[in-house]
Structure 1
Amino acid sequence: MTGDARQPPHTPDGRYIVVNGRRWRATDPHIPEEAGARLRAHLMAARRAIAAAHRAEDPEAERTARARVQTAKVALGERGTPWWEQSEAERRARWEEGLAALDAQS
């Protein structure tokens, strides 16, 4: 496994991160930094929206926020078709489409 003080360790193939002994799919490393930062900002905002909806006991708002989390995670390559099984064009389309959808919702 590899890693540094700022990021969790990755498996040798770079496809997964390891947190508390559990593997999680890593973010697609080919997403440009600016786009990745925007996607992570959308992801964190959606997670905060889930918490707020839960506190407000608003199931519809919670469903909407969870859908935004799903869109962000797929765009980042952490869910859906594994990024290492996609062509460069498919990978670019995945994050560009996800970012456009999230931008349109905010």
Structure 2
Amino acid sequence: MDARRAVGAAKRAASTPDEKAARVKVHAAKVALGERGPVWWDDGAPDENRKLVHNSSYADWWREAGHASPG
């Protein structure tokens, strides 16, 4: 957020060099947080976001955690 505030301050001051420097810091922060750059979620695992947990590869873990199966 410091970098974002610096962008705003530089814009209010009409300081193009300071704004560019602040935007470089914003970009670096976003890359570090995984918001920009290569995707981190493409690990080759099957997409299970439309499955109920008891029908997924997490079924055993779910049961062992004490959750009942439906039905």
Bin of the TM-score, shorter chain as denominator length: 0.5 to 0.7
Identity %: 56
Partner of 1:84: 41
Partner of 1:71: 28
- Bigger Cα Rg: 2
Instruction: Give secondary structure in 1 for the equivalent of 2:36.
Output: coil
Structure 2: stretches of 5+ with no match in the other structure: 44-71
Aligned pair count reads 43
State how far apart, in whole Å, the 2-side matches of 1:84 and 1:61 are: 34
Per-residue deviation, 1:52: 0.3
**Superposition RMSD on alpha carbons, in Å?**
1.2
Moved over 3 A (4+): none
Higher helix share: 1
Deviations 1:19-41 (A, max 9, x none): xxxxxxxxxxxxxxxxxxxxxxx
Instruction: Give secondary structure in 2 for the equivalent of 1:61.
Output: helix
More relative contact order, 1 or 2 (CA 8 Å, 6+ apart): 1
Higher strand share: 1
TM-score (norm 2): 0.57
Q: What amino acid is aligned across from residue 59 of structure 1 in structure 2?
A: T
Listed as ranges, the matches of 1:31-70 within 5 Å are 44-70=1-27
